[in-house]
Structure 1
Amino acid sequence: MSPVKKTFIDLATLAARIGVGGIFFANGWAKLRAGLDATETQFLQLDAPIPSFWAAATMLIELLGGTLLIAGLAVPVVGVLLFAEALAVFILAAGDTGLPLTGGSVQLVVALGAASVLLSVNGGGRLSVDHMVVIKRRDAEAADEMAADMEADTVINALREPKRGDATQSKPSPDSEHTDAHKGPVTFPNQPDEPTAPHSKPKPAPRKPRRDTTTENRSEPAGGGGEPGDTLVAGRRSAKPE
């Protein structure tokens, strides 16, 4: 529905409220000026039971109901109440031309009752106290309740989450230990670009210079030259014991 159409509906509802509520208020005001005794006499002429009760009830319902209907306050309840009054008057004054509640004919009572029930069902529109005050207050209360529910859900979710201390102190599973034991780079000897420290071949030890033992292996004859008691054995000279 377009905003223009909504505006026209609200204006039409306001006009209906002012018209129907104005008629009820005018009738109640006329009863108030005439007095309860005059209104009671009119109900006696209609053979209504408890005429004093009907005189007071109709005057209050028309005055208060008409005022609330014009203001647009509690329109659903007020509309049903005014419709019930119009229906009661229609039943009491059936076949009578003069009606003490409306000051007019039976047709006017029927029209007022139909308009009252229609306003009760459709509401007072956006140009009413119901929409400006009561409905806004309900929306604010609903928003507060929703905010409280969201805060409660946040607290519950926070309590359900595991604590950090429990996560850090938890014992690792055997799978994780097995995985940690094999961490690190895996090297293969066939890949020269990769480090092969664990599989590298040992370096050969440095060779000692070979000694020339041709002259050392020569044995001098006994009694020959040289120092007495010196003997070359396997390239080594043994000293003679003293």
Structure 2
Amino acid sequence: MARVGVGGLFFANGWSKLQVGLLATGEEFAKQGAPAPGAWATVTMLTELIGGALLIAGLAVPVTGLVLFVEALAVFLIAPPLNPVTTNELIALGAAAILLAVVGAGRISVDHMVVIRRRESEAASEFAADNEADRVIASLREPYAPPIPAPAEEEKEKEKPAAASEDTTPHPRPRSRNGGSDEPGDTLVAGRKKPSAARARKPAEPAED
């Protein structure tokens, strides 16, 4: 409220000079004995218009309040105010301007929004730097350990479907239709080898006369 009120008064003074005209304002300053009345009229008009608008918006309030205080002090010392503003009101405006320069713009202002965004970006960069440092330290401590994934990579890993677990259940060995193994060979029975069918078959010996 204070920022909008002070900025509105400064803007109204500059707008009044603009409506009267720079030549007429310069002539009035010349009558009061102000040095370089034309330049003085231009500088005061622009300072009050731009400074008042910046105060209302809450942009660069510390610098703007200091500039408006200097302008009000210069007008008070060099020439009385030409607008419908008394000397006491000019002093009050100058004091309010320097107070705003010290206190700041407040929460409802462009300055506050810029500060919030800057702090959020700085916090995000610091968080990313901390994560990178943690990954480097972990890789130095355990060279063969897998690196710590970044936050973005962790989110991608979470989104991926879980891979099917390997089947480690023992399965019986397939047997042939004869009940043994598919490959021919000897079979161990009761501690000794049982000859295979191929070996068991011997040619019949001729009968003796």
Normalised TM-score (structure 2):
0.64
Q: Over residues 126-164 of structure 1, what are the superposed CA-to-partner deviations in whole Å (9 max), with x where a residue is unaligned?
A: 122221x21122112211221232133123313421424
State the identity as a percent: 50
2:71 equivalent to 1:99: no
Cα distance in 2 for residues equivalent to 1:105 and 1:44: 19
Q: 2:123 aligns with which of 112, 120, 143?
A: 143
State whether structure 2 residue 100 is matched by structure 1 residue 119.
yes
Say whether 1:50 aligns with 2:36: yes
Other-structure match for 1:161: 141
Give the letter aligned to residue 80 of structure 1: L
Alignment RMSD:
1.7
Query: CA separation in 2, counterparts of 1:37 and 1:65?
Result: 22
Looking at structure 2, the residues matched to 47 and 148 of structure 1 have their Cα atoms a distance apart, in angstroms, of 62
Q: Deviations over 1:41-70 (max 9, x none)?
A: 122122222222111111111111111111
> What letter is aligned with 1:99?
P
**Are residue 79 (structure 1) and residue 79 (structure 2) matched?**
no
Inter-partner Cα distance in structure 2 for 1:30 and 1:164: 76
Deviation at 1:115, TM superposition (A): 0.2
- State the distance in 2 between where 1:99 and 1:16 align: 22
Q: For the pair shown, which has the larger CA radius of gyration, 1 or 2?
A: 1
1:177-197, Cα deviation, whole Å (9 max, x unpaired): xxxxxxxxxxxxxxxxxxxxx
The one-letter amino acid of 2:81's match is L
**Misfit runs of 4+, over 6 Å:** none
Query: What is the rounded CA distance, in whole Å, between the counterparts of 2:133 and 2:67 in structure 1?
Result: 44
Counterpart of 1:63 in structure 2 is 49
**Separation in 1 of the partners of 2:143 and 2:97?**
63
TM score, norm. by length of structure 1: 0.56
Distance in structure 2 (CA, Å) of the matches to 1:61 and 1:22: 13
Q: Aligned-pair distance for 1:17?
A: 1.2
Query: Residues 87 and 158 (structure 1 numbering): CA distance in 2 closer, same or farther, change over 3 Å?
Result: same
Give structure 2 stretches of 5+ with no counterpart.
146-209
- Residue type matched to 1:23 in 2? L
Structure 1, unaligned stretches of length 5 or more?
1-14, 166-242
Counterpart secondary structure, 1:127: coil
